[in-house]
Amino acid sequence: MPRSLENFNLGKVLGEGTFGKVFLAEYKDTKQLCAIKTLKKERIIAKNDIKSVFKEKRILQKVTSAEHPFLVSLYATFQSENHLFFVMEYLPGGDLCHLLEHQGAFEESKAMFYTACIVLGLEELHRNNIVHRDLKLENLMVDVHGYLKIVDFGLSKDGNVCYNCKAYKGIVGVDLDDIYIYIYLCMCSMYASS
């Protein structure tokens, strides 16, 4: 992937966050669709969050090198005078929150499938000493083949992770607790539709 915004056609805004926006984009040479996360340098500096952005990049690179089917891939990073850019895999199926709002409760087989995707993705993260720390419906997205992928590693922690230690913004090892909540939610959705 190229290292300049000029090599892409930017499309609609897919999402917005504290530091910037995520755009649908097309790589001009191959017509491949991707998602470009734009981060405003000014906001990152103002919030003294430079280390966090570099940590997110490092974690995304580590996740991508694992080539795991349930974790989003990072294709490239580059910068302009005012922005940082993360070029990532485009996940056209949307997030799990959106799916639940529009489709209603999942059938048992779909709930079990999505739960398995989450568990396998978390296992890979934990095997690589990464804790996500922001697992929520909006950070679980569906790819073109219908598989669920874990995204947004902005609050993640890597390295020598202790699952019982207190850390910045709460408990480091919340992923294990969160998965039980999502299994419960999926099961509730399943039984509500019965």
Catalytically active residues are 134
Sequence-ordered list of residues with C-beta below 8 angstroms from that of 171, at least 6 positions apart, any chain: 165, 177
Taking the CB of residue 144, how many other CB atoms lie within 10 A of it?
Answer: 11
Whole-angstrom Cα Rg for the chain = 17
Helix residue ranges, H only, 25-151 = 41-46, 50-66, 96-103, 108-127
Rounded Cα–Cα distance for residues 83 and 78 (Å) = 9
Residue 47 labelled as part of a binding site:
yes
